[in-house]
Amino acid sequence: MSELLKVPTMAEFMEQGKQPEVLFWVGCAGSFDDRAKKITKAFVKLLNKAGVEFAVLGTEESCTGDPAKRAGNEFLFQMQAVTNIEILNAYEVKKIVTACPHCFNTIKNEYPSLGGNYEVMHHTQFLKTLLNEGRLTVEGGKFKGKRITFHDPCYLGRANDVYEAPRDLIQKLEAELVEMKNCKRNGLCCGAGGAQMFKEAEKGDKEVNVERTEQALEVKPEIVAAGCPFCNTMITDGVKSKEKESEVAIMDIAELIANAQDL
């Protein structure tokens, strides 16, 4: 990819004595994971297109501490949290958007009592606002009539009761939204949460991501839409294990919207 993305940092804004409209919290997966980086870029393209004045922390960003906390290492979590909060507060950040439900949950719910109070949005919520405000338009384009099913990330859905924003966006694509038998508050985990992403699963008779992928494949989608870089990886692996990768694509909502308009 060669076209230039505009990705200003908080430090640059500060130099000019300006405040961005929103801070884009990229997250570790979004920064380093090859698949997730594509989601990050798709989202940035949309922000650029809509003319959103956003900034990233860049090299000043660090893990929110979510996997450490959920692995039981409260010390490490709070060290990370306090460090991040210091930086965010120094930049007087008010509003944060992130494409990772884990970062979203942690910053929104677990940072306030440590001194970090921000308005935090998941990127699907943010994109929906942009659409509602007319700053971004979506045409079905490529995805018109396609069968798309949405996998609810635990940390967006059950954890924070956000079920509609991603679905509204899919519907805006004029796609055919099909629901799996376990969806919304009954959605089945992809298997990555609670630091499971970073370890082998305990002994069992199946991998969680395979179980979830089977549920997704049951509704015969052309695309499985995700809203979390970790779910994305897990379902992608699941689809590969079922040798269906040529028939079923796994895409983040941001990618769907960006691709629909050939960004």
Partner 1 sequence: MQYLPNILFLVLLVLGIGYFTRNVKKLIRNIKLGHKIDVSDNKSERFKNMALIAFGQSKMVRRPVAGILHFIVYVGFIVINIEVLEIIIDGIFGTHRIFSPIGSVYNILIGTFEILALLVFVSVVIFWIRRNIIKLQRFWKTEMTSWPKNDANFILYFEMVLMTLFLIMNATDVHFQAMNSGNVVSQYIAPWFSELSENTLHIIERTAWWLHIAGILVFLNYLYFSKHLHILLAFPNTYFGKLRPKGELNNLEAVTKEVKMMMDPNVDPFAEPAEDSDEEIPAKFGASDVTDLNRIQLLNAYTCTECGRCTSECPANQTGKKLSPRKIMMDTRDRLEEVGKNIDANSGEFKDDGKQLLGHYITNEEIWACTTCNACTEACPVSIDPLSIILEMRRYLVMEQSAAPMELNNMMTNIENNGAPWPYNQMDRLNWKNE
Residue 138 or 189: the one with the smaller Cβ distance to partner 1 is 189
Residues of span 174-193 touching partner 1 by CB under 8 A: 185-186, 188-189, 191-193
Answer yes or no whether residue 50 interacts with partner 1 by CB under 8 A.
no
Contacts of 154 (CB under 8 A, 6+ apart): 101, 187, 189, 190, 193
Residues of span 212-231 touching partner 1 by CB under 8 A: 212
Residue 131 or 210: the one with the smaller Cβ distance to partner 1 is 210
Q: Which of 204, 243, 246, 262 binds partner 1 (CB under 8 A)?
A: 204
Answer yes or no whether residue 63 interacts with partner 1 by CB under 8 A.
yes
Tokens read off for 230: 């970790």
Residue 92 or 199: the one with the smaller Cβ distance to partner 1 is 199
Q: Which of 93, 173, 208, 217 binds partner 1 (CB under 8 A)?
A: 208
Residue 86 or 218: the one with the smaller Cβ distance to partner 1 is 86
Distance between CA atoms of residues 177 and 108, nearest Å? 29
Answer yes or no whether residue 247 interacts with partner 1 by CB under 8 A.
no
Residues of span 101-140 touching partner 1 by CB under 8 A: 105, 108-110, 113-114
Residue 70 or 95: the one with the smaller Cβ distance to partner 1 is 70
The Cα-based distances of 42 to 123, 176, 252, 256, 260 in angstroms read 11, 22, 9, 9, 11
Q: Which of 19, 58, 140, 147 binds partner 1 (CB under 8 A)?
A: 58
Tokens read off for 151: 């996998």
Residues of span 64-93 touching partner 1 by CB under 8 A: 65, 67-76, 78-80, 82-83, 86
Tokens read off for 60: 């000043």
CB atoms within 10 A of CB 87: 15
- For residues 2 to 41, the per-residue mask of contacts with partner 1, x marking binding by CB under 8 A and - elsewhere, is ---x-x-x----------------x-x-xxxx---x--xx
Distance between CA atoms of residues 58 and 228, nearest Å? 20
Q: Which of 3, 17, 92, 203 binds partner 1 (CB under 8 A)?
A: 203
| Strands (E) located in the chain | 22-25, 54-55, 95-98, 119-122, 147-150, 176-178, 223-226, 249-252
Tokens read off for 66: 């979510």
Residues of span 140-159 touching partner 1 by CB under 8 A: 154-155, 158-159
Per-residue DSSP letter, 106: I
Q: Which of 12, 14, 140, 194 binds partner 1 (CB under 8 A)?
A: 194
Tokens read off for 91: 């930049």
Number of residues that bind partner 1 (CB under 8 A): 73
Under DSSP, is residue 93 helix (H, G, I), strand (E, B) or coil?
coil
The backbone torsions φ and ψ at residue 30, rounded to the nearest 5 degrees and listed phi first, read -60, -25
